[in-house]
Structure 1
Amino acid sequence: MFERYTERARRVIFFARYEASQLGSSSIETEHLLLGLIREGKGLTSRIFSKSHLSMESIRKEIEGRALYRDKVSTSVDIPLSSESKRTLGYASEEAER
């Protein structure tokens, strides 16, 4: 499924999966994708946060503060993308093809 994505996009999804597992989520939600982008820390995301004077660390803390903490999920367990995350990645893919 991820073959069509760039290496960077796959890395962001990998990081999002890690973030979901650390927060005990049963699926990769859009906030995990954002945390994955922040963890990857390069490219457009970094420039957008810099220009808007937003600290990536403050955004991370805000997301983590709103998360419902559950027991961590093992990284060996399959954590699927939520329907919202699938839709978000679909929009990103469409935008990249323009």
Structure 2
Amino acid sequence: MSIDLVFQTSDGYPGGFVAESNGYMCFIEPQAKDSHINYQWLIQEGGGWTHRGGASVNTLIEGTAMSSTQAEEQIIKWLEENQPET
């Protein structure tokens, strides 16, 4: 199965990007450190956004990548490995 995510800009400071996949909210946020930028990524469920995971927001996994593309690849890898059985 191939997952195609469509990221949109997210509100707030410092901003970042968000995509939804099968009820999971996927975030990528640039983080300036020293003289370079890393990309923090995380996957959440809950909060009433997409009827997955209940009323409270739960972070399932998070990590840091050297590029936004690498962050997206890591998100897709986790989503592919954690798809619900059909």
More strand by share: 2
Say whether the fold is shared (TM-score over 0.5). Answer: no
Structure ranking higher on relative contact order (CA contacts 8 Å, 6+ apart): 1
Report TM bin, short chain: 0.3 to 0.5
With structure 1 as the length reference, what TM-score do the two structures score?
0.34
With structure 2 as the length reference, what TM-score do the two structures score?
0.37
